[in-house]
């Protein structure tokens, strides 16, 4: 059974870039690595509806905090069997965003912190009711809100299909989401967390994660 690693952070933080570097580093060491990004755009109707809502479609869907959270959660529920198969066939499964994204953004939209009712609701919905696999380790890519926003803006200018959505345009939401992520990491919500930043060397982080996984072996998922 492989280790389930999750990379979390703000929009534009660099999660996708970091995830690709980690996968490359582990594969170079001979590890069997599978990777998946949530939301699963183009594969999940729930993910696509969520993205469309954040770009102004589907009436008032985006204004409902819980409706949005349910769409992202249903995407993951549909992916759960595939995820379990990936864990059975690999040494490491790396996810770019997972349940903690829903906890962080939902709590931030409600102006709650990491100990608030939204985080408990997401935990109950996704881990207890939907039975999603619990990560072995969650990595918070903690970059300044302004840097993440700048990267998201630059990406929107260079990538025609990547214009900023409603959450990415909302600087206050990004700020609050960063605070909830900090709280989740400090509380080691659902698993151990480790923090990386814009200066973190990807190779060294890959080694750190492998060591943490090894130290955590024997802990049942
Ligand atoms: N370490 C880095 N240095 C410079 N630019 C970076 C770095 N990491 C990512 N970027 C750039 O920042 C932009 C956002 O990066 P990326 O797509 O990896 O972020 P993300 O956290 O996955 O974003 P989102 O959650 O919004 O999809 C991209 O244009 C990427 O090329
Ligand atoms: C998976 C997931 C995502 N979100 C938020 C985070 C982003 O602002 C948007 C879309 O995600 P992307 O990575 O920018 O494509 O939705 C969320 O609130 N809950 C989730 O579970």
What are the chain's domains?
Answer: 3-215 (3.40.50.300)
How far does the centroid of ligand 2 lie from the alpha carbon of residue 105, in Å?
8
Q: Which residues of 111-128 are buried (b: 16+ CB within 10 A; e: fewer)?
A: ebbbebebbebbbebbee
* Least distant ligand from the CA of 167: 2
Phi and psi of 78, rounded to 5°?
Answer: -65, -25
Residue 114 has, within 13 A of its CA and on its CB side, a CA count of 16
Q: How far apart are the first and last CA of the chain?
A: 10
Q: How many Å lie between the centroid of ligand 2 and the Cα of residue 203?
A: 26
Strand 192-196 relative to strand 137-141: parallel, antiparallel, unpaired? parallel
Q: How far, in Å, is the centroid of ligand 2 from the Cα of 10?
A: 9
- Residue 220: the pLDDT is 42
Taking CA atoms only, the protein residue closest to ligand 1 atom 28 is 155
How far apart are alpha carbons 120 and 159 in whole angstroms? 36
> Residue 68's pLDDT is what?
98
105 Cβ inside 6 Å of ligand 2: yes
Of 195, 209, 200, 163, nearest in space to 11 by CA: 163
In this prediction, residue 80 carries a pLDDT of: 98
Q: Is the CB of 14 under 6 A from ligand 2?
A: no
| Ligand with smallest separation from the Cα of 13 | 1
Residues 79 and 19: beta-carbon distance below 8 Å: no
Q: Which two tokens stand for residue 44?
A: 């999940």
What is the pTM assigned to this prediction? 0.97
Residues facing 199 on adjacent strands: none
Ligand nearest to the CA of 79: 2
Q: Residue 221 has what pLDDT?
A: 43
Which residues of the chain fall below pLDDT 50? 218-221
């Amino acid at each position: 059974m492989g280790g389930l690693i999750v990379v979390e952070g703000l929009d534009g933080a660099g999660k996708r870039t970091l995830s690709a570097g980690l996968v490359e580093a582990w594969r170079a060491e001979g590890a069997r690595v599978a990777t998946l990004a949530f939301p699963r755009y183009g594969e999940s109707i729930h993910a696509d509806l969520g993205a469309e809502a954040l770009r102004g479609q589907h009436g008032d869907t985006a204004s409902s905090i819980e409706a949005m959270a349910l769409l992202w959660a249903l995407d993951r529920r549909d992916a759960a069997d595939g995820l379990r198969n990936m864990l059975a066939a690999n040494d490491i499964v790396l996810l770019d965003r997972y349940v903690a994204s829903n906890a962080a953004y939902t709590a931030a939209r409600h102006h709650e912190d990491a100990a608030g009712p939204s985080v408990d609701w997401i935990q109950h919905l996704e881990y207890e009711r939907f039975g999603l696999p619990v990560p072995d380790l969650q990595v918070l890519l903690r970059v300044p809100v302004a840097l993440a926003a700048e990267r998201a803006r630059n990406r929107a200018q260079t990538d025609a299909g990547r214009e900023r959505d409603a959450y990415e345009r909302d600087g206050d939401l990004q700020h609050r989401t960063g605070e909830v992520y900090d709280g989740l990491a400090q509380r080691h919500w659902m698993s151990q967390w480790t923090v990386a930043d814009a200066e973190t060397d990807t190779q060294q982080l890959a080694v750190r994660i492998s060591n943490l996984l090894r130290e955590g072996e024997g802990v049942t998922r």
